[in-house]
């Protein structure tokens, strides 16, 4: 069984950019989202994947990922996935012996910037960079699958902090 242990945080400044490596543009959509799991197609540069992830509201979730032919993935995104699609640029930022992923969203989620860190265990210690703010790992609004149904552009102003 595949397992993902990931913590997600809001980003409070652009200071991460000084250490970031070149970003990769991601375009992804969902074929299904039910109470137990989501099924996603993602294209990043010249690679594509099918991803199945449990809908658990936790830092630890079951996850499976399989490569897809690029053209098939593009057709699936364009014709089978419910909109809006998730569009974001992911940057990789080394800090404290970990590689942080900073997602800068575009389209209907423009203005949202989150940082994620993958861990070996849910209680693994790590150093939070100064540009990382509140943790949102267990706030479903920040899950990409939820952002397709309730995009950041539609959130009330007070919720965008």
Residue for token pair 């861990």: 119
- For residue 47, the number of C-alpha atoms closer than 13 Å in the C-beta half-sphere is 9
- As a whole number of angstroms, the distance between CA 54 and CA 63 comes to 6
Helix and strand tally (H, E) in the chain? Answer: 2, 9
- Residue 143 is among the residues annotated as catalytic for this protein: no
Q: CB 116: neighbour CB atoms within 10 A?
A: 17
- As a whole number of angstroms, the distance between CA 125 and CA 156 comes to 34
* Of 30, 91, 142, 143, catalytic: 30
Q: Which residues are catalytic?
A: 30
């Amino acid at each position: 069984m595949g397992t993902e242990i990931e913590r997600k945080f809001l980003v409070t400044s652009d200071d991460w950019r000084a250490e970031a490596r070149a970003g990769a543009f991601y375009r992804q959509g969902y074929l299904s989202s039910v109470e137990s799991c989501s099924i996603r197609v993602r294209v990043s540069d010249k690679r594509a994947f099918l991803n199945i992830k449990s809908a658990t509201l936790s830092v630890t979730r079951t996850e499976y990922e399989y490569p897809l032919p690029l053209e098939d993935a593009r057709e699936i995104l364009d014709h089978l996935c419910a909109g809006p699609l998730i569009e974001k640029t992911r940057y990789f930022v080394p800090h404290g012996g970990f590689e942080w992923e900073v997602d800068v969203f575009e389209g209907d989620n423009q203005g949202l910037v989150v940082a994620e860190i993958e861990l070996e265990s849910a209680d693994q210690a790590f150093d939070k960079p100064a540009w990382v703010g509140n943790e949102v790992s267990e706030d479903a609004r920040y899950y990409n699958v939820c952002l397709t149904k309730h995009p950041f552009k539609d959130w009330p102003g007070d919720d965008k902090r």
